[in-house]
Amino acid sequence: MEFQTKIILLSFAITIVLAFIIIPILKKLKIGQIERVEGPQSHLKKQGTPTMGGIIMIIVIILVGAAMFIDYFRSTDTGEKQVAQNLLPIIAVTVGFGIIGLIDDLKKLIGKNTEGLKPAYKMIGLLIVSVGFSLYLTEIMHFEPQIYIPLADIYFTFPVWLYVPFVVLVFLSSTNAINLTDGIDGLSTSVTTIILTCLTIISVIFGVKEVTVFGSILIGTCLGFLLFNLYPAKVMMGDTGSLLLGGAIAGIAIYLKMPLLLLIIALVPILETLSVIIQVTYFKKTGNRIFKMAPLHHHFELSGWKENKIVSVFSLVTLVCCALGLIII
């Protein structure tokens, strides 16, 4: 536990140092948030807030991840070397999603619009990274294509041809859900940090050391970033951060063989996603809206809740869901 604490503190410290360096650069380059006109009017004042802050997380993951890889790989212990090798795919898939988000953010900023990458191009990128990850696990690491079924306490084994599309579905769902949750200051970072902490605790319980190491890096960088992302935010994570974190959650859950557990511990991002689906479907059929605005956090925002209250309540719900998840595994 002491070693994990050191990794968290190291990642936390590097994130803070990088934030003090990168945020002024983003300001100078005028890489600022572009608010949607159809979004909450209160958000228009956030126009110009430095965005693309997820690049800080990418750098931390690469720096600390590389240091951990070298440390474990230099060991004379075969098991430690294996941990180093096993770190590679979960680092690569997370950074891969972050880079797709980075390209998306750059397209938005260069074009001065909220569209970014064309959906088809973004989908191709997401498919390449997620399919590559699943094939690396099954074909290179000879990873058993299984998932744990909570409550039933059994593992279900997929045929590889079905496992790959399942993994893709988990990645697409997770990245989309975290992206939708990233609508007010500090919300996505707070909720994600709690989910990642839960998954990291599970990795400790089951002795999956590479996930414990990687999870600790993510927890540290998220906590450091949160200091600059809470209301009023000094920096936004952008799609760079939301895709990175969504990819990290999915990648770790798949690696632990527990993607179904996300239905419990990631309830808040799931509800955010469902609120959009319900809103759009209902509006198309009736011309009316169920929520004042979707995703769900905007509904509460327009109902008079302050941003900090929404973040606190949604984080508390996530904390309870994660506690429940830990109880049932």
Amino acid 46: pLDDT: 64
Distance, first Cα to last Cα, the chain: 21
Confidence of residue 319 (pLDDT cuts 50, 70, 90): very high
Residue 304 lies in a domain: no
Residue 112 lies in a domain: yes
Cα–Cα distance for residue pair 262/82, rounded to 1 Å: 27
The mean pLDDT value for 296-320 works out to 96
Residue 214 lies in a domain: yes
Residue 146 lies in a domain: yes
- Is the pLDDT assigned to residue 16 strictly greater than 80? yes
Dump pLDDT digits (tens) for 247-282: 999 999 999 999 999 999 999 999 999 999 999 999
Count of domains observed in the chain:
1
Contacts of 149-155 spanning 24+ positions with Cβ under 8 A: 149/260, 150/258, 150/260, 150/261, 150/264, 150/325, 150/328, 150/329, 151/328, 155/257
- For the beta carbon of residue 120, count every other beta carbon within 10 angstroms: 8
Torsion region of 231: left, alpha or beta (phi above 0 gives left; psi -120 to 50 gives alpha): beta
User: pTM for this structure?
Assistant: 0.95
Dump pLDDT digits (tens) for 163-173: 999 999 999 99
Residue 201 lies in a domain: yes
Cα–Cα distance for residue pair 247/270, rounded to 1 Å: 15
Residue 164 lies in a domain: yes
Q: Which regions of the chain does DSSP assign to beta strands (E)?
A: 146-149, 154-157
The residue with tokens 């390209």 is 103
Amino acid 29: pLDDT: 85
Report the percentage of the chain scoring pLDDT > 90. Answer: 84
Residue 301 lies in a domain: no
The mean pLDDT value for 291-318 works out to 96
Amino acid 2: pLDDT: 79
- Is the pLDDT assigned to residue 219 strictly greater than 90? yes
Residue 99 lies in a domain: yes
Contacts of 285-293 spanning 24+ positions with Cβ under 8 A: 293/39, 293/40
Q: Domain range for residue 201?
A: 2-264
Confidence of residue 39 (pLDDT cuts 50, 70, 90): low
Torsion region of 160: left, alpha or beta (phi above 0 gives left; psi -120 to 50 gives alpha): alpha
Confidence of residue 76 (pLDDT cuts 50, 70, 90): confident
The mean pLDDT value for 74-90 works out to 92
- For the beta carbon of residue 193, count every other beta carbon within 10 angstroms: 21
Amino acid 324: pLDDT: 97
